[in-house]
Amino acid sequence: MRFIHYNICYATGPKVHDSMRSSGRNLARISAFLRELEPDLVGLIEVDHGSYRTGGKNQAELLADALGHYQSHSIKYAEGSFWRYVPVLRNQGNAFLTRGRIRNETFHFFESGMKRLVIELELEHLVVYLVHLALGSRVRHRQLGELYDLVKTTQKPCLVTGDFNALWGEHEINLFLAATGLQNANSEGLPTYPSHNPRRHLDFILHSQEIDVQDFKVLPVQFSDHLPLVIDFDVRVETDLRKISRPSHCYCYPHMEKGLIAVGRN
């Protein structure tokens, strides 16, 4: 199974000062990039659900249609929040795209912080949580505690993925890993931000012990201010109904920036 995590910055490109511009052309690049990699599941952070940047169209739905996937999405601010009434901000959220049918979806909201959404997606053999944690360290740590409460009740193998905004470094999540028993797929601590000169490891894919990671990559494409993470994995289940394993992929996407060296294990 192939999973891609990507903070797409509303498809407005890698430069912060462009974050309010129209996104159509760059979204087409992201769409072509995702199709080339043929993912089974995609977790998207910073998705525009229909502001002027997209001409009123939902980016999650546009990308799902392009991939032929199902989709699950929500605004990242809590229901009744002031931010749900602010132009442009009220259209900002996160999303899943999935090749397989969705067994169940739940939209949780942290008790504190501006960005509060946790999407819980249940597939046949897997549960995946998608988060975008707070910039403030105190709120971020409280959110990790609430995320632990969700993960510890999960009965299936699980992934926890998202932009953790771990501005103090990977040690911020050490207690969370120890408490949940999850493992970091990015075992080498490869940086994911900013995309033009990666220095910080902000984006994570964490997995339970029942998930065997076959390959992990951080890909050097600059369609966003974050780099995308790609993981190929297998889920150990009692009754194996899976198809044959996915063949290896060269990650030789034609639109990768020239002069950049592929990042990740060979």
pLDDT tens-place string over residues 125-180? 999 999 999 999 999 999 999 999 999 999 999 999 999 999 988 889 999 999 99
| pLDDT over threshold 70, residue 247 | no
Tell me the pLDDT tens digit for each residue of 122-140.
999 999 999 999 999 999 9
The C-alpha angle with vertex 55 and arms to 27 and 63, in degrees rounded to 5, equals 35
Asked whether 48 and 92 are in contact (CB, 8 A), the reply is: yes
- Residue 245: the pLDDT is 56
Q: What is the dihedral of CA 59, 64, 65, 70, to 10 degrees?
A: -140
Q: What is the mean pLDDT of residues 71-93?
A: 96
Confidence of residue 254 (pLDDT cuts 50, 70, 90): low
Structure tokens at 145: 């505690």
Query: Can you name the residues that pair with 160 across neighbouring β-strands?
Result: 129, 206
| pLDDT over threshold 80, residue 255 | no
* Helix axes 59-67 and 24-37, enclosed angle (nearest 10): 40
pTM for this entry: 0.90
- Residue 37: the pLDDT is 98
- Taking the C-alpha atoms of residue 102 and residue 99, their distance in angstroms, rounded to an integer, is 9
CB-count exposure of residue 234 (10 Å: 0-12, 13-18, 19+): middle
| pLDDT over threshold 70, residue 87 | yes
- Residue 266: the pLDDT is 32
- Residue 113: the pLDDT is 96
Tell me the pLDDT tens digit for each residue of 192-209.
999 999 999 999 999 999
- Taking the C-alpha atoms of residue 152 and residue 265, their distance in angstroms, rounded to an integer, is 30
DSSP 8-state code for residue 251: -
> Does residue 163 sit in helix, strand or coil?
strand
- Taking the C-alpha atoms of residue 216 and residue 159, their distance in angstroms, rounded to an integer, is 14
Q: What is the mean pLDDT of residues 51-74?
A: 97
Cis peptide before 87 (omega within 30 of 0): no
Asked whether 8 and 44 are in contact (CB, 8 A), the reply is: yes
Tell me the pLDDT tens digit for each residue of 91-114.
999 999 999 999 999 999 999 999
- Residue 257: the pLDDT is 45
| pLDDT over threshold 80, residue 14 | yes
Length of the chain (residues): 266
Q: What is the mean pLDDT of residues 241-254?
A: 55
- Residue 13: the pLDDT is 93
- Residue 206: the pLDDT is 98
Where on the phi/psi map is residue 254: left (φ > 0), alpha (ψ -120 to 50), or beta?
Answer: alpha
- Taking the C-alpha atoms of residue 53 and residue 47, their distance in angstroms, rounded to an integer, is 11
Percent of the chain with pLDDT over 90: 83
- Residue 19: the pLDDT is 73
Query: What's the mean pLDDT when you consider all of the chain?
Result: 90
**Terminal C-alpha separation, the chain:** 18
Write out the H or E segment, with its range, that includes residue 60.
Answer: helix 59-67
Q: What is the DSSP string of 6-23?
A: EE-GGGS-S-GGGTTS--
